[in-house]
Structure 1
C-alpha cells in the first residue's frame, strides 16, 4: 500500500495519505518560527494541530533533552493512544495503547521506512508515518549526549 508524504518544513505542513488510507495532517501554527531540529518545525503542543480525515486529534511531543524517552511523541485519535519513542540511534518504536506495533525510521527528510509487527491497520500506518516524518526518529543514548556536553565544556 503506497503512502504519500507531503512535508513543507518552511510552511510547517505535513500531509500523509494514500489510496484507501485516512488522511493525516500535522500543521504548525501559521507565522510561528521553525526550529532547526524538528522537521515540522516545533515540538510545542500549543503550536501544533493534528487531524485525521478532517477530525481533530491531539499530539504532544516531549521536549527532547537528555534521555531517548524525552524525544517521545504521543497522539490520541478517538480513544486510542499512540506513542513514537526512540529505541536506537536512528529508529523509533511505534505503539498503540501501550503495545508495540512497528518500528519506523526517518531522518527528517520527508521519507519514512517502516517495519510492522504483522499487517498494520490503515490508521496505524498513516499516523505512525506522519509522526515519524513530522518529528524524525531515533536519538543518541544518554551517556553519549552527556559525553558531548562535557566535551564542549573542556577547552
Structure 2
C-alpha cells in the first residue's frame, strides 16, 4: 500500500497547488501554483507520533526547506491550550515570522508578522482548504506566494484546529479518574 498521499488544491489566488504527504517516510512537499517549493522532512530514527501528519512536533527532528533554503521551524509541544498547538516559522531570508495557530476546533489562522493572512483547514490527511484575506483591514495582509507555500505546508504537516482549554483539561482529569 502506498503511504504517500497526493492532494491537488485549486487555490483561488495561486492556481493549482500540489501537496504530497508521506507520513511513514516523514516528508511533506508543496509545489505548483507559482509558489516556491516547500519541503518538511522528519529526521531518520525519529519516534513517530501517529496523531501528527509529519510524525513529530520535535523541532530538533525536523527540517524545513523553502526553495532549497533552510528556514527555522518551531512547532510548539501541544498540550492544554489552543495556542500550545501553534507552529512558527522564522524566515531569515525574508526577515519574517509566520505562525499557524488554532482558532477553533477545526481551523487555524496563518499570521505573518502578527497580521492575519488567512484561515486554513486540514484534518491531517494532506488535504488543505484556505480562505485568504484581501488585506483591506489593518489586522490582515494579502498573501504572497511565499506566505501561501508556508501556510499550506504547515497545515498539511500538522493539521489545523484544537479543542478549547476547558475541553482538554476535562479530558486530562477524566483520564486520571479510576
The bucket for the TM-score relative to the shorter chain is over 0.9
Q: Gaps (5+ residues) in structure 1? A: none
Instruction: String of CA shifts for 1:122-152, please: whole Å, max 9, x gaps.
Output: 1111110000000111000010111112222
Q: Choose which of 19, 23, 28 in structure 2 pairs with 1:14.
A: 28
Provide runs of 4+ in structure 1 moved above 6 Å: none
| Residue aligning to 2:171 | 148
Q: Choose which of 146, 160, 165 in structure 2 pairs with 1:137.
A: 160
Q: Gaps (5+ residues) in structure 2? A: 1-14, 135-141
Deviation of residue 19 (structure 1)?
A: 3.9
| Residue aligning to 1:51 | 65
Q: CA separation in 1, counterparts of 2:42 and 2:176?
A: 34
Q: CA separation in 1, counterparts of 2:30 and 2:161?
A: 20
Q: CA separation in 2, counterparts of 1:29 and 1:72?
A: 21
Matched residues, number: 155
2:101 matches 1:82:
no
Q: Choose which of 123, 130, 134 in structure 2 pairs with 1:107.
A: 123
| Residue aligning to 1:41 | 55
Deviation of residue 91 (structure 1)?
A: 0.5
1:112-123 equivalent positions in 2, closer than 5 A: 112-118=128-134, 119-123=142-146
Q: CA separation in 2, counterparts of 1:37 and 1:3?
A: 24
Instruction: String of CA shifts for 1:41-83, please: whole Å, max 9, x gaps.
Output: 0000100000110011110000000000000000012211000
State the TM-score, normalized to the length of structure 1: 0.96
Deviation of residue 89 (structure 1)?
A: 0.1
Q: How big is the alpha-carbon RMSD for the aligned residues of Structure 1 and Structure 2?
A: 1.0
